[in-house]
Amino acid sequence: MKLNKNFFSENIKTFFYALVIAVIIRSLLVQPFYIPSSSMEPTLLVGDRLFVTKFTYGYSKHSFPFSPPILNKRIMFSSPERGDVIVFKTPADNRTDYIKRLIGLPGDKIQFIDSNLFINSSEILKSKILIKDKIYCGNKTIDVFKFEEKLPNGKKFHTVYLKNYTYQNSDIFTVPKNHYFFLGDNRDCSKDSRYLTSVGYVHEDNLVGKAQFIFFSSDKRIASIFAFWKWHKSIRLNRTFNKIN
């Protein structure tokens, strides 16, 4: 078969156009993410794959692959709401993606007293759901209490705390202007804004996008995604297309 002399050039063009379209979609619309840790259990499990909308809070350099210095501030900014589950670049290196729940807005004062969360001196309502439950913390299973928490704006979600409440008291965290304070839902197994040297307060420019829904989930502890003969055990069909609360 004789190939058209333009065969290779046309395929290169097609590949280039497809790549450009993919970058535009990833940068301006939605981006898939994989959950590698248990810091957001029970909301997000290791092995969840989810879509994050990039347009929800506007755009910064971190909206684009490799964070090129093409924007010196956030544009088309829309303020996030307390309780949103958000992907952001960690302030420590402006490179690593973290996903946590937004708890503190600019100017808020956050504190833990006797393992209870306070925002601006008001205790956050916490209703116990389960006295005994087990979840993961890294490769270990831990015994936890499960709660439903309700933020001042009415947002409700589930959190878990170790039974011995390892994180009991803290200093007051005063959230700076244009910054946000994040916590993991797995409160005693999360590196988040409480740890100022590693995460700390997150600038609005570091927001990547809002987590919207899970499109696929599999438990890698049971089997690799390539072990198709174990898919019936590892794939979590009940989590597919679940909206993230």
Active site members: 39, 100
Ramachandran region, residue 243 (left: φ > 0; alpha: ψ -120 to 50; beta: rest): beta
Sheet holding 207-217, edge to edge: 30-34, 48-53, 207-217, 85-89, 97-104, 179-183, 202-203
Phi, psi dihedral angles at 168 (to 5 degrees): -100, -50
Check: CB of residue 239 under 8 Å from CB of residue 46. no
Residue 123 in tokens: 């205790």
Residue with token string 């499960």: 146
Write the burial class of residue 186 (CB in 10 Å: 0-12 exposed, 13-18 middle, 19+ buried): buried
Q: How many CB atoms lie within 10 A of CB 30?
A: 15
- What's the angle, vertex CA 26, arms to CA 20 and CA 29, rounded to 5? 115
- Antiparallel, parallel or unpaired: β 109-113 and 97-104: unpaired
Sign of CA pseudo-dihedral 150, 155, 160, 161: negative
